[in-house]
Amino acid sequence: MDDIEPPADLPQHFARPANEQEAAWSELWDQGRTPWDRGIPSPALVDLLAARNDLFNPVNSDGSRKKAFVPGCGSGYDPVLLALHGYDAYGLDVSEKAIATAKQYAESQLRTPSEGNFPLSGQKPSVSPGKVEFICGDFFSKDWGEHKFDLIYDYTFLCAILPAKRRDWTKRMSELLKPGGLLVCLEFPLWRDPRDPGPPWGLRGVYWELLARGGDGSPREYGDEEPPPAENAEFKRLLRVKPERSHKIGRGMDMISVWQKV
């Protein structure tokens, strides 16, 4: 499924207090309404993992596997993708139904992976698959355990939370990443007016404002040049490129950025 326009009634469904947002997502899963579900792993992440082994070697120098994490993992496509590329991967979602769906998907894919987990060239990882584990919980809570990850992938997660929670998103990402760990963001939706109600919330300028400037995530229109990063920024941007492949709903405007915790 890759509709270009998000359902018009989503903002109305989420027009409720901040402490009821997680329940709103679970309700949609329970109703079988998952318009964000694309049915395949993120093509942009597939290609990035294959092209930049210098950044995304899934094995530590001692031979142990690195740990990857996907918040708001839904049906589990991206945690499974990361496991197939050698990471020990973890997916988190607030919906019990989503987690059950993800576990079924992982069992099937780890046994017989779909071609969508690999680049169009057919290139396969040189390492064996890692494990994948799914957790039902709230990203902003520590109730689901103390973890530190080498890699976190965010796609349709930041755009799904209330703008008032964006600074908390940055803090939590910093807590979950190991020093030197990588935060990979598929920047979406960049075409949506940041003033429009979400989800999805428009994110033009938001990643730089949050991660490089240490701001509250208010949208900024920078023009041709971004302002310099803050001296005390917790993240350093290593890469920002336009992916050759992404989901159609990105309308050809998606960008993928890689940030390192300093």
Q: Which two tokens stand for residue 196?
A: 């429009």
Residue 185 forms beta bridges with which residues? Answer: 154, 257
Q: CA torsion 18→33→145→210, rounded to 10°?
A: -50
Residue 68 forms beta bridges with which residues? Answer: 89, 151
2 within some domain: no
- pLDDT on residue 7: 83
Largest CA distance in the chain: 50
- pLDDT on residue 3: 65
Does the predicted TM-score (pTM) go above 0.85?
Answer: yes
1 within some domain: no
Q: Strands 255-261, 235-241: parallel, antiparallel or unpaired by DSSP?
A: antiparallel
Mean pLDDT of 171-190: 97
> Residues 79-102: pLDDT tens digits?
999 999 999 999 999 999 999 999
- Count of structural domains, the chain: 1
CA distance 218 to 204: 9
Mean pLDDT of 164-191: 97
CA angle 14-32-113, nearest 5°?
A: 115
DSSP 202-255: P-TTHHIIIIIT---------TTSPPPPPTT-SEEEEEEE--S---GGGTT--E
* Structural contact between residues 63 and 109, judged by C-beta atoms closer than 8 angstroms: no
Mean pLDDT of 210-225: 85
- pLDDT on residue 1: 55
For tokens 């990105």, name the residue: 250
142 within some domain: yes
> How is the beta sheet containing 67-71 ordered, strand by strand?
132-136, 88-93, 67-71, 149-154, 177-187, 255-261, 235-241
> Residues 115-134: pLDDT tens digits?
999 999 988 999 999 999 99
* Structural contact between residues 43 and 250, judged by C-beta atoms closer than 8 angstroms: no
Compute CA distances 60 → 63, 74, 88, 124, 261, whole Å.
5, 28, 12, 19, 17
175 within some domain: yes
Nearest Cα to Cα of residue 133 among 154, 103, 108, 173: 103
4 within some domain: no
- pLDDT on residue 35: 87
Q: Domain of 36: which CATH number?
A: 3.40.50.150
5 within some domain: no
| Cβ neighbours of residue 142 closer than 8 Å, sequence gap 6 or more | none
> Residues 3-23: pLDDT tens digits?
667 788 899 999 999 999 999
Q: Which two tokens stand for residue 224?
A: 């041709």
Q: What residue ranges in the chain does DSSP mark as E strands? A: 67-71, 88-93, 132-136, 149-154, 177-187, 235-241, 255-261
The boundaries of the domain holding residue 158 are: 10-261
CA distance 238 to 236: 6
167 within some domain: yes
